[in-house]
Structure formats: structure tokens, C-alpha cells
Amino acid sequence: MLQSHVIDIDGVFVGAAVRLHDGYRFVATDLRLDEIDGSLWPSLNDVRRVARARLSAGRYPAQTLPVS
């Protein structure tokens, strides 16, 4: 069984990191992190650091619901 780790940024679940023999595969659940979905990282700290940096960069607008 593969070991996985929840990745949350400031209390928001943004994905999971799955432990593989050669690092951690990031599986994004937040659309703002689609660019790094499936990427491989050497450590769990790298996954968290890159996910936080991508969200903090403000490159993506916050998702909003249509107003009725």
C-alpha cells in the first residue's frame, strides 16, 4: 500500500503527496495547483513549499460562485 500525506495550506486541503521509491508525487485537489499536479518531488517539505509558493504568488483568481 502506498503511503500518502495530506497537503494543506493555511488549513485548506489542496492535495496529497504519495510516497514513491524515488520521491513524492503530488496529486492536486485544488484547481489553482493543476500546473504541478502529478509532479515528482524529492521530499515532502519540497511539495509543501512549492504548493504554498504557487498559492501565495496570487497567479490565480479565487474561485467565485455566480450571483443569483
Task: With respect to residue 19, please indicate whether it lies within any of the assigned structural domains.
Answer: yes
Residue range of the domain that includes 18? 4-56
> Edge-to-edge strands of the sheet including 23-28?
4-9, 12-20, 23-28, 40-41
Nearest to 16 by CA among 33, 62, 57: 33
Task: With respect to residue 35, please indicate whether it lies within any of the assigned structural domains.
Answer: yes
Task: With respect to residue 66, please indicate whether it lies within any of the assigned structural domains.
Answer: no
Domain count of the fold of the chain: 1
Task: With respect to residue 65, please indicate whether it lies within any of the assigned structural domains.
Answer: no
Task: With respect to residue 64, please indicate whether it lies within any of the assigned structural domains.
Answer: no
Q: Is 46 helix (H, G, I), strand (E, B) or coil?
A: helix
Nearest to 13 by CA among 35, 39, 33, 40: 33
- pTM for the full predicted model: 0.80
Task: With respect to residue 33, please indicate whether it lies within any of the assigned structural domains.
Answer: yes
Q: What is the pLDDT of residues 10-37, one digit of tens each?
A: 999 999 999 999 999 999 999 999 999 9
Sorting pLDDT into bands at 50, 70 and 90, what band is 2? confident
CB distance 34 to 28 below 8 Å: yes
